[in-house]
Amino acid sequence: MADTQVIAALRQLVPRDVPGVGKVRIGGVGDGGYVLLDRLAPQQVVMSFGVGPTVTFDAEMAERGHDILLFDHTVDELPQEHHRFRWFRQGVAGVSNPAADLFSLADHMEKLPPGTIDPILKMDVEGAEWASLAATPRHALRRFAQIVLEFHTMLALHQPAFNAMAVAALNALSSDFAVVHVHANNWGGMGFVGGLVMPETIEVTYARRDLFATVASQTFYPTAHDTPNCAERADFDLWFYPFHPGGADLAITAGVAIPD
Looking at residue 257, its pLDDT comes to 47
Helix (H/G/I), strand (E/B), else coil: 220? coil
What secondary structure, in 3-state letters, does 69-131 show?
EEECCCCCCCCCCCCCEEEECCEECCCCEHHHCEECHHHHHHHCCCCCCCCEEEECCCCCHHH
Q: What is the mean pLDDT of residues 173-177?
A: 97
Looking at residue 253, its pLDDT comes to 47
Q: Is the pLDDT of residue 23 over 80?
A: yes
Q: How many CB atoms lie within 10 A of CB 249?
A: 13
Percent of the chain residues past pLDDT 90, beyond the cut: 90
Helix (H/G/I), strand (E/B), else coil: 61? helix
Average pLDDT, the chain: 94
Q: Is the pLDDT of residue 248 over 70?
A: no
Looking at residue 250, its pLDDT comes to 55
Burial class (CB in 10 A: 0-12, 13-18, 19+), 256: middle
Q: What is the pLDDT of residues 112-160, one digit of tens each?
A: 999 999 999 999 999 999 999 999 999 999 999 999 999 999 999 999 9
Q: State how far Cα 62 lies from the chain centre.
A: 19
249 pLDDT tier (thresholds 50, 70, 90): low
Q: What is the mean pLDDT of residues 25-54?
A: 94
246 pLDDT tier (thresholds 50, 70, 90): confident
4-253 carries CATH number 3.30.40: no
Q: What is the mean pLDDT of residues 210-229?
A: 97
Looking at residue 30, its pLDDT comes to 84
Looking at residue 38, its pLDDT comes to 98
219 pLDDT tier (thresholds 50, 70, 90): very high
Looking at residue 258, its pLDDT comes to 43
Q: What is the pLDDT of residues 63-109, one digit of tens each?
A: 999 999 999 999 999 999 999 999 999 999 999 999 999 999 999 99
Looking at residue 152, its pLDDT comes to 98
